[in-house]
Amino acid sequence: MMLHGEIKDPRIGFVTITHVEMTPDLKEARVYFSQIGSDKDKEKSREGLSSASGFIRRRLAKALDLRHVPEVSFHYDASLDYGDRIDRIIKEIKEDKDRG
């Protein structure tokens, strides 16, 4: 909700957080996101999210009542792209099989 309602950076497109990985010591959080669009759009969103990381950390500290908030880094999650590519390949194979 914070991404879509409170962060107003125009670089951030319509992103979906897919998962978060925390280090065992809870000092770092790798936040993975997906987005439909070009590689340039995805990079702009990553830059915008990274720019907002301080704001996000402050909001998390307040909302979760934490003294030590992890460093947050954003990474594009390409797994949906891979899944889409596999679906297209399977569909092409099936169409080829149906034709011949």
Question: Which residue would you say has higher pLDDT here, 12 or 64?
Answer: 12
Residue 98: pLDDT band with limits 50, 70, 90: confident
Q: How many domains does the chain have?
A: 1
Q: What is the pLDDT of residue 76?
A: 95
Mean pLDDT over 94-98 rounds to 88
**Cα separations in angstroms, 15 against 31, 44, 62, 93, 99:** 12, 11, 23, 31, 39
User: Which amino acid is located at 41 in the chain?
Assistant: D
* CATH number for the domain that contains residue 10: 3.30.300.20
Lowest mean pLDDT segment, chosen from 16-25, 29-38, 63-72, 75-84: 63-72
Report whether pLDDT(20) > 90.
yes
CA atoms within 13 A on the CB side of 92: 6
Long-range contacts from 88-92, C-beta under 8 angstroms, 24+ separation: none
96: exposed, middle or buried (C-beta count within 10 Å: 0-12, 13-18, 19+)?
exposed
Q: Which domain holds residue 79?
A: 2-99
- To the question of pTM greater than 0.85 for the whole model, the response is no
Q: Are 74 and 53 in contact (CB under 8 A)?
A: yes
For the stretch 34-62, pLDDT in tens is 998 899 999 999 999 999 999 999 888 88
Q: What is the pLDDT of residue 23?
A: 93
